[in-house]
């Protein structure tokens, strides 16, 4: 199943002079042009988007990035910036026409500085997320961005897509973790901004333009990021709740009574648990009998005080009396804690076993989560015989992953043909609740044609103006986002 744009054959003659200059300007270790070597760079990790490219650039200095972009800009050669190539929307692979070079940041991967006293780290854009986490950990600090792909995704990609993940509730998105950026503009100029300042009100906050821009305005080459104290006195619990509305009430109680020490608050629907227990070894129900809705939450308290866990346990009695919580268990050991999280983290793999999923990464205002589920679950079931809607996600952020699982026995082709209709069904409910059709995955190639239907004309026009201002020749990641 390839959604790669087929496109026309590249005008090789048009590209050749620029490609030749790129090969001259960069040392041979900084580019690839053999098809076999380029393969991992032209297809996304799920194999859904396959493109073509005449050249993959792998600069290992900011100066090389700058030189490469200046040449591409002069020769009007399109550039696809790429981090770990782990995105879910096809934004990091070239189109099928072979007219764009890939600019991989995978060799620009040094940790430049770590300031434990000032709670900051400065890194190259190609640093793997897990390596940043480890470097922080080694100095008794904590970098909270955490997501499934953390062992292979790279921070430049995380920033370009404004990645979210499990701990957004307490620590924010990638944007919120960024103090400074170094960016190479499409014409090769370098915008230096790695100050690491907590406060700087000297004009427009330029870094904000590039965060979440999916590589369409320039290339992020470095970042200064916030670090935090390590969460300690951590409490992890797996509760059955009466309903999504009860989950929302519990969310408010927990935020209040932990003084906003709530780090994660994940909502899980029973069919997901069954899917996981069926397909993923070493998983099992933490509770004795089944319920319809669950939350998995984690809170951290000040190690200087005492008793967060016992406080939560005591409060839980009141929540059970009030009918919010039906049953539950608090992890007594680290192994138990990891077992709870294994359930949540296995959802993607468990789905894959049972067929194609048409994914929706949507958000609504937090208090509209119950209404979204009350409308979207029956609508999806009614729309399609045998369709299995899978709802889970970061309820504390209003972010629901709403995936529609292939009916057993239905062919891939028939199911995929229904994609536009099912997208529209889900996204129209989202829009009617004031929500977003992409909470954390971005637009990429996947949602590009849907975007104008859900954004205002004024917003679309302003985005196009900004694109034209920063990238007047339109070389940056064409076909993605805008």
Give the footprint of a copy of itself on residues 269-298 (CB under 8 A). none
CA dist 253 and 320 (Å) reads: 13
| Count of residues that interact with a copy of itself, criterion CB under 8 A | 104
The three state secondary structure string of 460-479 is HHHHHHHHHHHCCCCCECCC
Q: Which of 196, 222, 328, 389 lies at the binding interface for a copy of itself (CB under 8 A)?
A: 196
> Helix 419-432 crosses helix 369-383 at what angle (to 10 degrees)?
150
In the window 405-424, what residues touch a copy of itself (CB under 8 A)? Answer: none
By CB under 8 A, tell whether 97 contacts a copy of itself: no
Q: Closest approach of Cβ 182 to a copy of itself, in Å?
A: 11
Q: Are 390 and 271 in contact (CB under 8 A)?
A: yes
Q: Which is nearer to a copy of itself, 313 or 327 (CB)?
A: 313
Residue 200 neighbours by CB under 8 Å, 6+ apart: none
Cα-trace Rg, the chain: 23
CB atoms within 10 A of CB 363: 24
Region of 3-11, 48-56, 204-212, 329-337 interacting with a copy of itself (CB under 8 A)? 204-212
Task: Tell me which residue of 266, 258, 340, 330 sits closest to 300, measured CA to CA.
Answer: 258
In the window 297-326, what residues touch a copy of itself (CB under 8 A)? Answer: 299-308, 311-312, 315
Residue 208 is encoded by which pair of tokens? Answer: 């904000």
By CB under 8 A, tell whether 155 contacts a copy of itself: no
By CB under 8 A, tell whether 447 contacts a copy of itself: yes
Q: Closest approach of Cβ 463 to a copy of itself, in Å?
A: 5
By CB under 8 A, tell whether 162 contacts a copy of itself: yes
By CB under 8 A, tell whether 463 contacts a copy of itself: yes
CB atoms within 10 A of CB 176: 13
Q: Closest approach of Cβ 44 to a copy of itself, in Å?
A: 17
Phi, psi of 323 (to 5 degrees): 85, 5
CA dist 161 and 442 (Å) reads: 6
Q: Which of 13, 199, 282, 413 lies at the binding interface for a copy of itself (CB under 8 A)?
A: 199
Region of 6-14, 75-83, 346-354, 395-403 interacting with a copy of itself (CB under 8 A)? 395-403
Q: Which of 367, 419, 432, 449 lies at the binding interface for a copy of itself (CB under 8 A)?
A: 367
CA dist 267 and 70 (Å) reads: 47
CA dist 473 and 18 (Å) reads: 15
Q: Closest approach of Cβ 441 to a copy of itself, in Å?
A: 7
In the window 166-185, what residues touch a copy of itself (CB under 8 A)? Answer: 168, 172-173, 175-176, 185
């Amino acid at each position: 199943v390839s959604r790669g744009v087929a496109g026309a054959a590249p005008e090789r003659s048009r590209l050749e002079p620029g490609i030749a200059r790129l090969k001259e300007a960069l040392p041979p270790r900084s580019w690839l042009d053999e098809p076999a070597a380029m393969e991992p760079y032209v297809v996304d990790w799920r194999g859904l988007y396959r493109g073509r490219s005449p050249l993959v650039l792998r600069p290992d200095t900011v100066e090389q990035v700058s030189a490469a972009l200046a040449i591409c800009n002069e020769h009007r050669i399109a550039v696809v910036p790429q981090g770990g190539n782990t995105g879910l929307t096809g934004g990091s692979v070239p189109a099928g026409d072979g007219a764009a070079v890939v600019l991989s940041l995978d060799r620009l991967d040094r940790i430049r500085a770590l300031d434990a006293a000032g709670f900051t780290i400065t890194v190259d854009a190609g640093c793997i997320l897990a390596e940043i986490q480890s470097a922080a950990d080694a100095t008794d600090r904590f970098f909270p961005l955490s997501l499934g792909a953390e062992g292979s995704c790279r921070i430049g990609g995380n920033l370009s897509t404004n990645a979210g993940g499990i701990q957004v509730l307490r620590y924010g998105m990638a944007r919120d973790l960024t103090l400074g950026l170094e960016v190479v503009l499409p014409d090769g100029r370098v915008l230096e901004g790695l100050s690491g300042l907590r406060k700087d009100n000297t004009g427009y906050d330029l870094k904000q333009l590039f965060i979440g821009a999916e590589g369409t305005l320039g290339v992020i080459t470095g970042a200064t990021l916030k670090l935090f104290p390590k969460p300690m006195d951590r409490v992890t619990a797996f509760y059955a709740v009466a309903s999504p509305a009860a989950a929302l009430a519990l969310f408010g109680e927990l935020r209040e009574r932990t003084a906003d020490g709530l780090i994660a608050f994940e909502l899980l629907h029973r069919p997901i648990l069954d899917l996981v227990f069926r397909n993923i070894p070493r998983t099992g129900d933490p509770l004795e009998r089944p319920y319809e809705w669950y939350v998995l939450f984690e809170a951290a308290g000040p190690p200087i005080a005492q008793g967060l866990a016992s406080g939560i346990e005591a409060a839980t009695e009141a929540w059970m009396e009030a009918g919010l919580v039906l049953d539950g268990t608090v992890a007594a050991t680290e192994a138990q804690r990891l077992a709870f999280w294994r359930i949540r983290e296995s959802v993607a793999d468990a789905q894959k076993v049972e067929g194609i999923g048409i994914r929706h990464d949507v958000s609504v205002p937090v208090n509209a989560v119950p209404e979204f589920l009350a409308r979207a679950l029956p609508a999806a079931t009614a729309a399609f015989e045998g369709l299995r809607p899978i709802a889970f996600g970061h309820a504390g952020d209003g972010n629901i992953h709403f995936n529609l699982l292939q009916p057993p026995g239905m062919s891939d082709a028939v199911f995929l043909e229904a994609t536009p209709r099912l997208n529209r069904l889900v996204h129209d409910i989202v829009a009617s609740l004031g929500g977003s059709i992409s909470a954390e995955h971005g637009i990429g190639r996947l949602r590009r044609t849907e975007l104008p239907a859900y954004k205002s004309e004024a917003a679309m026009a302003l985005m196009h103006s900004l694109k034209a201002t920063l990238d007047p020749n339109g070389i940056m990641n064409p076909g993605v986002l805008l």
